[in-house]
Amino acid sequence: MAEQSVPATAREWHLKARPNGWPVPSDVALVEAPVRAPEPGEVLVRNAYLSVDPYMRGRMNDAKSYVPPFKLDRPMDGGAVGYVVASAAEGFEVGDAVLHGLGWREYATFPAKHAVKVDGSQAPLSYFLGVLGMPGMTAYAGLVAVADIKEGDKVFVSGAAGAVGSLVGQIARLKGASRVVGSAGSAAKVAKLVDEYGFDAAFNYKDGPVREQLAAAAPEGIDVYFDNVGGEHLEAAIDALGVHGRAVICGAIAQYNDTEAPAAPRNLVQVIGKRLRLEGLLVGDHAALQPRFTAEVAGWLKDGSLHYDETVVDGIEKMMDAFLGLMQGENTGKMVVRLDA
């Protein structure tokens, strides 16, 4: 296939200042930048969908972490799927759909070794940023590898209506959990958890103390806690976990914009007596699970036993709005930005 017409410039989001607490519009800027033709071994991709994810907030800080911070006055990045519009790399043709890591922009030129071909006939292209991508793999690896979920386990997941949490609860159920409980931030989300995702119980964490609501929803306690929120949720889960309980520490979105140390959890001493295991989760540590994950999840999607939701925002100019909306819980399921609308 011949090369497609490519503009001389395209838009990309740059970080202009390190946020103090919640990001504000002046911390970022949407700028025009040259579109570079691919050199040998490279591809040029027109992005179709861009991902916004909670971990991106940490990258806006100039702090050492498991992933480098965004650079000032440079384009930010993240998950993206799009189409090859020019190729100087063997094995990649114009028109190929690919998954890569240079989001927050309309076009991206990069070494083809960093692109993964995806099959748009297998699932909608945006699914490879969600249920068949990093969030799905995070949910799967957290339960299978870190929590070592067993049939009969009682599972609690916070942020349960989000991209990861909504899949955690469903995968736990499919893996034989005896009870699945979730927390979310609205009555509509709570209803969806029970009515569509098959949770046994759910509650709105804004309606009262998490400890009390969790005790009512899981009166026999829990064996596994999948933490996307931190703070009060983690403290409540430590209370509810039984002996040899396991907590998968995936995220702490409640604290990402805090400027002071969190008050909770204040009950970590219980880790000793209950012999609890609290283990952090980075999805990149579990690449060996990828084939098993893809096969199982694709099968569940095909037979309808796994439900998947997206919140789609149109237009690259809405990228920062989508990110802030994600941080404020405005999404149900995976939040993506569509450029092909």
Q: What angle is formed at CA 214 by the lines to CA 210 and CA 218, rounded to 5 degrees? A: 175
Say whether both 165 and 277 belong to one domain. Answer: yes
- Asked if residue 239 belongs to a domain, the reply is yes
- Asked if residue 101 belongs to a domain, the reply is yes
CATH number of the domain residue 61 falls in:
3.90.180.10
| Residue pLDDT, tens place only, 223-247 | 999 999 999 999 999 999 999 999 9
- Asked if residue 92 belongs to a domain, the reply is yes
Task: Enter the tokens of residue 196.
Answer: 């569509």
Range with the largest mean pLDDT of 168-172, 256-260, 268-272: 168-172
| Residue pLDDT, tens place only, 299-338 | 999 999 999 999 999 999 999 999 999 999 899 889 999 9
Say whether both 121 and 165 belong to one domain. Answer: no
Nearest to 337 by CA among 141, 73, 1, 56: 56
Q: What is the pLDDT of residue 96?
A: 97
> Of 267, 284, 301, which marks where a domain is finished?
284
Nearest to 19 by CA among 67, 57, 64: 57
Say whether both 84 and 152 belong to one domain. Answer: no
H helix runs in the chain, sequence order: 55-59, 134-141, 165-174, 187-195, 210-217, 232-240, 270-274, 290-303, 319-327
pLDDT (mean) for 264-278: 93
| Residue pLDDT, tens place only, 173-187 | 999 999 999 999 999
Say whether both 94 and 143 belong to one domain. Answer: no
| Residue pLDDT, tens place only, 86-123 | 999 999 999 999 999 999 999 999 999 999 999 888 88
Say whether both 158 and 279 belong to one domain. Answer: yes
Say whether both 53 and 126 belong to one domain. Answer: yes
Say whether both 16 and 157 belong to one domain. Answer: no
CATH number of the domain residue 187 falls in:
3.40.50.720
Tell me: pLDDT of 152 over 70. yes
The residue segments making up the domain with residue 239 are: 134-284
Q: Provide the domain count of the chain.
A: 2
Q: What is the pLDDT of residue 28?
A: 97
- Asked if residue 289 belongs to a domain, the reply is no
Residue 235, number of CB atoms within 10 A of its CB: 20
- Asked if residue 113 belongs to a domain, the reply is yes
Nearest to 77 by CA among 107, 46, 95, 56: 56
| Residue pLDDT, tens place only, 14-47 | 999 999 999 998 999 999 999 999 999 999 999 9
What pTM value is reported for the model?
0.87
Say whether both 125 and 209 belong to one domain. Answer: no
Tell me: pLDDT of 1 over 90. no
Tell me: pLDDT of 82 over 70. yes
Say whether both 121 and 144 belong to one domain. Answer: no
- Asked if residue 2 belongs to a domain, the reply is no
When the pLDDT of each residue in the chain is averaged and rounded to a whole number, the result is 94
Task: Provide the pairing of β-strand 42-51 with 80-87.
Answer: antiparallel
- Asked if residue 304 belongs to a domain, the reply is no
Say whether both 163 and 253 belong to one domain. Answer: yes
> Of 284, 301, 323, which marks where a domain is finished?
284
Find residue 224's DSSP bridge partners: 155, 246
Say whether both 126 and 158 belong to one domain. Answer: no
Say whether both 139 and 273 belong to one domain. Answer: yes
- Asked if residue 257 belongs to a domain, the reply is yes
